Structures are given as structure tokens and as C-alpha cells.
């Protein structure tokens, strides 16, 4: 187990986390409420495959999944003594059971920074961030607007648009 914490966002990310841009790994100074750091963690190959498979399954970047699992660990008092690796291993072992719960948390995280939805006509196929339905070219969808300049683009379908109570 080996890990390095670096405050430099330009530092190259590990392969497993480089599939999609990750807003939180590119801090932009004053825009951020809190300073976030890039955590490079070496994990066993088997665990990496599991995490990759699970992330693909949820259609999220591996880095998002790992962050969610770790944030989750911070709030889990009964596992407070676990190391990062132990927590990731345990999570990988119970991924199927935790799948739905983690998925819900990741969806919440992805939409957390959105302050409004703007109706758009899609020029490229997208997937609804909430229900994961396919949104083909030409479809009307709703683009999530955020203040974070490097935020991941999120779209939702008509059904998943927030409705007045």
C-alpha cells in the first residue's frame, strides 16, 4: 500500500481515473469552497479491475466511484480504523450489495452542484444522469448548469426534471 497526496492538480492522474474529466481533480482557486487534493493510490490489480468494472457498470469515472466510497467511509464510524486500501477492498467485496446505495449517492453527487436546468436540443447522444435512459441526437434534454468551470456535463430527461411540489 502506497499513496501520495499532492496539491498539484496538473500532476498526471492514474490511468484508472483518466477516462473522463473529473471536476474535483481540477481545483480552480477561489471558485472552490474548500481546497481539494488529488490522492494517488496504488491498489492491487484485482481490486482495480473490480472498481473499473463497477464504475463502467454505473457509467461513472473510476475516480468518482473511489471518491464516493471513501467519503462514505469517513461517515461510517464503525469502520473508522480502516485504511484506504482496506476500505476499498471491503467495498469491492460487497459491491453488488452496495451497488444501489452507491449509485444513488453518485447520482446525488453529480447533480449536487447544479443550480438550474436549461432546455437544450442534443447534438450528441447523452445519458440521463438520474435514470440513465439514452438521450439520442435531436432529443430535447435538460442541461445542468453549475458554477464550477470544469464540472462534468450532466443532462437529465424530461421525467427526471425537478417538478414544482
- We find the least distance from the C-beta atom of residue 153 to Zn ion, in angstroms, to be 15
Binding piece for Zn ion, criterion CB under 5 A, among 12-20, 58-66, 68-76, 129-137:
129-137
Among 130, 141, 144, 151, binds Zn ion (CB under 5 A): 130
d(CA 97, CA 94): 5
Could you say whether residue 13 binds Zn ion (CB under 5 A)? no
Which lies closer to Zn ion via its Cβ, residue 54 or residue 155? 155
Q: Which of residues 41-60 bind Zn ion (CB under 5 A)?
A: none
- We find the least distance from the C-beta atom of residue 135 to Zn ion, in angstroms, to be 8
Among 46, 120, 131, 145, binds Zn ion (CB under 5 A): 131
Q: Which of residues 99-118 bind Zn ion (CB under 5 A)?
A: none
Could you say whether residue 128 binds Zn ion (CB under 5 A)? yes
Which lies closer to Zn ion via its Cβ, residue 58 or residue 157? 157
Amino acid at each position: 500500500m502506497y499513496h501520495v497526496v499532492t496539491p498539484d492538480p496538473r500532476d498526471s492522474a492514474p490511468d484508472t481515473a483518466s477516462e473522463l474529466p473529473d471536476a474535483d481533480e481540477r481545483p480552480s482557486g477561489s471558485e472552490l469552497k474548500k481546497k481539494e487534493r488529488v490522492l494517488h493510490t496504488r491498489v492491487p490489480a484485482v481490486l482495480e479491475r473490480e472498481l473499473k468494472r463497477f464504475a463502467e457498470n454505473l457509467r461513472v469515472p473510476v475516480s468518482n466511484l473511489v471518491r464516493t466510497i471513501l467519503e462514505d467511509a469517513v461517515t461510517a464510524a464503525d469502520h473508522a480504523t480502516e485504511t484506504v486500501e482496506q476500505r476499498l477492498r471491503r467495498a469491492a467485496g460487497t459491491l453488488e450489495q452496495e451497488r444501489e446505495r452507491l449509485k444513488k449517492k453518485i447520482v446525488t453527487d453529480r447533480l449536487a452542484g447544479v443550480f438550474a436546468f436549461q432546455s437544450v436540443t442534443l447534438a450528441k447522444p447523452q445519458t440521463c444522469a438520474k435514470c440513465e435512459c439514452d438521450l439520442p441526437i435531436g432529443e430535447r434534454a435538460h442541461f445542468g448548469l453549475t458554477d464550477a468551470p470544469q464540472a462534468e456535463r450532466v443532462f437529465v430527461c424530461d421525467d427526471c426534471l425537478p417538478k414544482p411540489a
